[in-house]
Amino acid sequence: MGRCRPIARPAAARVGKARGRGLGSRGSSAMAAEKPVVAVTCTAPVNIAVIKYWGKRDEKLILPINSSLSVTLHQDQLKTTTTAAISRDFTEDRIWLNGREEDIGQPRLQACLKEIRRLACKRRSGSPEDPLPLSHSCKVHIASENNFPTAAGLASSAAGYACLAYTLARVYGVESDLSEVARRGSGSACRSLYGGFVEWQMGERADGKDSIARQVAPESHWPELRVLILVVSAGKKLTGSTVGMQTSVETSPLLRFRAEAVVPARMVEMARCVRERDFQAFGRLTMQDSNQFHATCLDTFPPISYLNDTSRRIIHLVHRFNALHGHTKAGWPARVGSVSLRFIRLRGPTSKPPVAYTFDAGPNAVIFTLDETVAEFVAAVRHSFPPESNGDKFLQGLPVEPALLSDELKAVLGVDPAPGGIKYIIATQVGPGPQVLDDPGARLLGPDGLPKPAA
């Protein structure tokens, strides 16, 4: 059996902007010379779909029934960090998530590991520089952590599996497209392999080789775009997304129609909105697609409801806020629930870009807007959902200036405040794809290949 060797090759450019490479030196010096541990630590971002993925055409290969498009969120606020270490002396694959050892035998983890080793094996066998390319046969230890609470209901599995795929690729020296590795863990994880704006093309092939993620525009493309995550107080989720989407495919006539007849045109339009930075149309389509996704959940039998009363209040707040800012023309409807037209003025000197919501498989809202609107919208949220206990921690992430609400806005929004409905807000923006961390202090596994004790 060959010896595991550090991968000195730079990270593959195809899977994002890698800034480092395999890190083996500290491991080697701390261990006896005959037990080198090769370790790599990477981070990966959360992504939020604006054209939603819901439903698989192949459960095993995780191939979707429609394409989807997402925005990669900045890792300063939300990220997964993963360290993968290989050593000839590890006797089995092991994994720790947020400090707790988990069952490495889970089918999705196994699918990722098998796929990355297949790619590693394939690469080495074709490379004359690596006469003994057997690192892919080494067992691996993996430790992964999120910098945000899993309970927040954010899409941790996408960041998690993207980070796993990216980190394993570096430790095993794989340079090919990682869409399939990440996708086998969690479909939407392939979109977290890139920064900026990313589409996951559904593909047509039965083997899924053309079901891949690609970047539509980099994170630098739309610097004014801002993202607010409104974390909603809620009990546990009743229906997991894996089971949920399977039931939807089996029982919802509307889902099939959406996938076949609605999404293809929406993908084209959304890519245009991004390319042209057309926020008006981007926001409207984002909301419509979120609503349609939740509509197909409700059309499932038994029905699935991820939105709760607070989610619906947020939806209503956004439409009122937009109406007050005059977004009643150019495709924005004038009638917003019970807000009568007399409250709605045309866009004037005080009008601001609109705000858009999207909801994944849970009650939390993700809000998109432009920087000039953020402060006023956050003030509106505070007004409608007065913070209960943690007023000082209500706003996290990027700083947001305090703003005063006009009496007009208060009159429209403040009819029915819901104290405590929103636990906190994370303010963030579009961000880059996965990163390799050079700092040895960032590693989650010690020189012995076991998780470091918590600091």
Q: Which residues bind a copy of itself (CB under 8 A)?
A: 235-236, 238-239, 243, 247, 251, 253-254, 257-258, 261-262, 284, 287-288, 291-292, 294-296, 298-303, 305, 307-309, 312, 315-316, 319, 333, 335-338, 416
Q: What angle is formed at CA 100 by the lines to CA 94 and CA 106, rounded to 5 degrees?
A: 50
Residue closer to a copy of itself, measured from CB, 146 or 300: 300
Q: What is the dihedral of CA 417, 419, 421, 425, to 10 degrees?
A: 100
Nearest to 425 by CA among 317, 273, 280: 317
Strand partners, 81: 43, 145
Interacting residues of 264 by C-beta distance below 8 A, sequence separation 6+:
66, 67
Q: How far is the CB of 226 from a copy of itself (least distance, A)?
A: 22
Q: How far is the CB of 97 from a copy of itself (least distance, A)?
A: 22
Residue at token pair 């939740």: 294
User: Residue 33 is which amino acid?
Assistant: A
Q: How far is the CB of 187 from a copy of itself (least distance, A)?
A: 20
Residue closer to a copy of itself, measured from CB, 301 or 419: 301
Residue closer to a copy of itself, measured from CB, 201 or 308: 308
Residue closer to a copy of itself, measured from CB, 303 or 420: 303
Q: How far is the CB of 63 from a copy of itself (least distance, A)?
A: 22
Give the per-residue SS3 of 322-343: HHHCCCCCCCCCCCECCECHHH
Q: How far is the CB of 319 from a copy of itself (least distance, A)?
A: 5
In this structure, the strands spanning 197-200 and 139-146 are unpaired
Residue closer to a copy of itself, measured from CB, 90 or 343: 343
What is the secondary structure of 141-160 as a DSSP string?
EEEEEESS-GGG---HHHHH
Q: How far is the CB of 419 from a copy of itself (least distance, A)?
A: 16
Which tokens sit at 142?
């993996």
Residue closer to a copy of itself, measured from CB, 238 or 455: 238
Could you give the CA distance from residue 366 to residue 363 in angstroms, rounded to a whole number? Answer: 10
Q: How far is the CB of 333 from a copy of itself (least distance, A)?
A: 6
Residue closer to a copy of itself, measured from CB, 223 or 264: 264
Could you give the CA distance from residue 424 to residue 417 in angstroms, rounded to a whole number? Answer: 16
